[in-house]
Amino acid sequence: MAGMLSKRADRALETTDFLGSYLLQALGNAYNPIDNPKGIVNLGTVENKTCEDLWIKKIGELAPLIADKMSLYYCNFSGFEFLRRNIGTFLARKLDLPKPLDPQEIVLQDGVTGILNAAALAIGDEGDTILCVTPSFGRFRNDIEDVAGVRFYEVPMFEERDKGDAAEFHLNVIEKYYRKAIDEGHNVRGLILCNPQNPTGKVYSKQEVGTLLKFCARKKIHILVDEIFALSCHEKTKFTSVLQCDIPDPSRTHFMWGFSKDLSLSGFRCGMLYSKNARLINHLRKSSAYGTISAPTQIMLNAIISDTEWLDRVYLPTYRKRLQENLEFIRGWLKRHSIPFYCGSAGGFIWVNLTKFLPKKTYEEELALFERLLKGGLYICPGKEMFSPYPGWFRITFSVQKDRLAEGLRRIENKILSTWL
């Protein structure tokens, strides 16, 4: 059937969506201790389920708000101005910014995935290249390649070690891979940085981020900074947003955040991009017609983001307490079983080294171990899908209900440890 679809569509179909296809299996047979005890425990998807009880109550209280005629009709495709204004105020408070973000410099679309796709379309032509510091969120590649046709180029930061800093920042490595891409004929248009970093939880320092900003300014390339885990730091870690840094090239520096992780609302599909580049913002406003957030959703999100007392006194303290408890639980389990891991300072996941369970230390063995666990009822994310240069690393999500976490770890014991020891 060659030629029936566009070259762009054919190219996207040739790429296996590993996370999507295996995730569908996990979602279609989800574990429930009562209704489906033999189902799959999902410790692979990074969703924040630690405060499900709080959110169900909160959303129930807010539901009457959408019984408003404003919910019935078309709205501003790029987000109600009152929601953009309140998000700008909320982030300024939480990120210690001197003043609220200008709502005219914010665009909202249906998730950070949608925002990144739209940004790639705006800053790169088909065949252009965007660098990405890796390991990273596996779907970044899909976000810029599937629709925009912009090429994803890995810049590996990962050092293979059992402990210490598994995502140590090396500017010389970025310089090296930038030159390598140029020598290979790539037209490099930008760089993606996820901070806090997924999958390691690494929190980059102000100095490190500043160094990268200067590099991008020198090369005159855009930098897309994804801070979707900015409020998910644990152990009293100090997080520095790119918006707190001295930005040498404001027109090529773009900040992204969303409600999915820090605020547990992945199903609400709301992501934002903030930029001083008026032409980029105007383009994203036009493209927002293809990724508009529904009016009822925006009304509820506005009520949530405006309720600072509930967020500050109820949700955020509870979330961080439960996140810390789950982190201590999984770290203790890993130590008891002598499994090496790297634990960054943020996020609801931990970077685990299962290399000793791979007889041949290959990606094929990594996939075989993943499938063995999946068959045993556990879904976690293999490192290859996070662009890890070394087989055997896996990302395990711990920002779930405590009983789910315990059950998932028990299944690792049953499917790996019991046969390996």
CATH number for 232: 3.40.640.10
- What is the arithmetic mean of pLDDT over 74-98? 95
Of the three residues 307, 336, 368, the one that is the final residue of a domain is: 307
Residues 261 and 371 in one domain: no
Secondary structure (DSSP) of 56-111? HHHHHHHGGGG-SGGGTS---TT--HHHHHHHHHHHHHHTT-SSPPPGGGEEEESS
> What size, in residues, is the chain?
421
What's the pTM value of the predicted model, to 2 decimals? 0.94
Q: What are phi and psi of 30, to 5 degrees?
A: -70, 140
Residues 225 and 124 in one domain: yes
Give the pLDDT score at 401. 95
Give the pLDDT score at 421. 47
Residues 40 and 110 in one domain: no
Q: What are phi and psi of 155, to 5 degrees?
A: -125, 90
> Which residues of 103-168 form beta strands (DSSP E)?
106-109, 129-134, 151-156
Residues 45 and 144 in one domain: no
Q: Report residue 59 as tokens.
A: 């959303």
Residues 300 and 327 in one domain: no
Q: Which helix (H) or strand (E) holds 225?
A: strand 222-226
One-letter amino acid identity for 391?
P
Mean pLDDT of the chain: 92
Residues 31 and 122 in one domain: no
Q: How far is residue 194's CA from residue 228's CA, in Å, rounded to a whole number?
A: 8
In a domain, 320, yes or no: yes
Helix-then-strand count for the chain, H and E: 15, 13
Residues 149 and 21 in one domain: no
Check residues 23 and 254 and name the one with the higher pLDDT: 254
In a domain, 63, yes or no: no
Closest by CA position to 109, among listed 288, 335, 309, 281: 288
Residues 226 and 332 in one domain: no
Residues 300 and 326 in one domain: no
One-letter amino acid identity for 285?
R
In a domain, 22, yes or no: yes
Listed in sequence order, the residues at least 6 apart from 136 whose beta carbon sits closer than 8 Å to its beta carbon are 192, 194, 197, 198, 199, 386, 387
Q: What percent of the chain has pLDDT over 90?
A: 80
Res. 419: pLDDT tops 60: yes
Range of lowest pLDDT (5-19, 265-279, 336-350, 351-365): 5-19
In a domain, 1, yes or no: no
State which residues form the domain around 352.
Answer: 7-55+310-420
In a domain, 256, yes or no: yes
